Amino acid sequence: MPVDYPATEDQVLLAHIVNRQTEALSALYDRYGRLLYSVAYHLVGNQQLAEEITLDVFRRVWEKAGSYKADRASVRTWLTSMTRNRAIDMLRREGVRPEHTSISWADLTFEPHADGHSPETAVSQKMQNQRIHAALAELPEEQQEVLLMAFFNGYSHSQIADHLTLPLGTVKTRIRLGMHKLKLVLQP
């Protein structure tokens, strides 16, 4: 009887991946690919690097699914941690530090933008986004995760609680603490 991968639990999917069942990896990618891309993008601020990081994480899952320890973290947390670590490694390798701003030449062109904002406004917004990404990278993983889900992926607090199997109060506390830390870091 064929396995219904979309309905299969994460840990069972990993067991199938250990047995080299590509459909299980595909199901895991369908389940978490968007989230991992979002985490990577928000850390590196570059679409191409974020895609590379996401694919690299799933390549590592294919190679090392047997190293997953269920008693240490959920599959989701394990994948998110690998993504975060891979993004930080890539930033180091590329010689980029998220706390420093890097503006591309295209950002400095003096053509009016389609949205009507001046080039100065666009550059200022890009610099602010980079500061936010760097500040997010400094937060504890559990606060990063809920903030990314709430503000970048549009999940409600209840949806986050359901998805992470956490009490609603815990989700709200993590969001509140994370926002407080971001506010402290981002204040001029």
Write out the residue range of the structural domain in which residue 64 sits.
5-138
pTM reported for the whole predicted model: 0.52
Once rounded to an integer, what is the mean pLDDT over residues 16-42?
90
Query: Helix axis angle, 75-94 relative to 119-138, nearest 10°?
Result: 120
Same domain, 45 and 119: yes
Extract the tokens encoding 77: 């947390």
**CA gyration radius for the chain?**
18
Give per-residue pLDDT as tens, 166-185: 899 999 999 899 888 888 87
Do 89 and 151 reside in the same domain of the chain? no
Quote the number of domains for the chain: 2
Confidence at residue 148, expressed as pLDDT on a 0 to 100 scale? 81
State percent of the chain over pLDDT 70. 79
The larger pLDDT score, comparing residue 168 to residue 154, is at 168
Q: Mark whether 116 and 151 lie in a shared domain.
A: no
When pLDDT is cut at 50, 70 and 90, the band that residue 104 belongs to is: very low
Reply yes or no on whether the pLDDT at 186 is more than 80. no
Most confident range (mean pLDDT) of 32-36, 108-112, 127-131 is 32-36
By CB neighbour count within 10 A (0-12 exposed, 13-18 middle, 19+ buried), where does 14 fall? buried
Could you tell me the CATH number of the domain that includes residue 114?
A: 1.10.1740.10
* Domain match, 168 and 79 both: no
Query: Across residues 51-66, what is the average pLDDT?
Result: 93
The residues near 188 (Cβ < 8 Å, ≥ 6 apart) are none
What is the predicted pLDDT for the residue at 87?
A: 87
| pLDDT at 116 exceeding the cut of 60 | no
Instruction: Read off the pLDDT band of 124 (50, 70, 90).
Output: low
Whether 68 and 143 map to the same domain: the answer is no
What is the b/e burial string over 102-116, where b = at least 16 CB atoms within 10 angstroms of the residue's CB?
eeeeeeeeeeeeeee
Burial of 1 (0-12, 13-18, 19+ CB in 10 A): exposed
- Average pLDDT estimate for 73-78: 87
Question: How much is the average pLDDT of 22-32?
Answer: 91
CA distance 52 to 37: 9
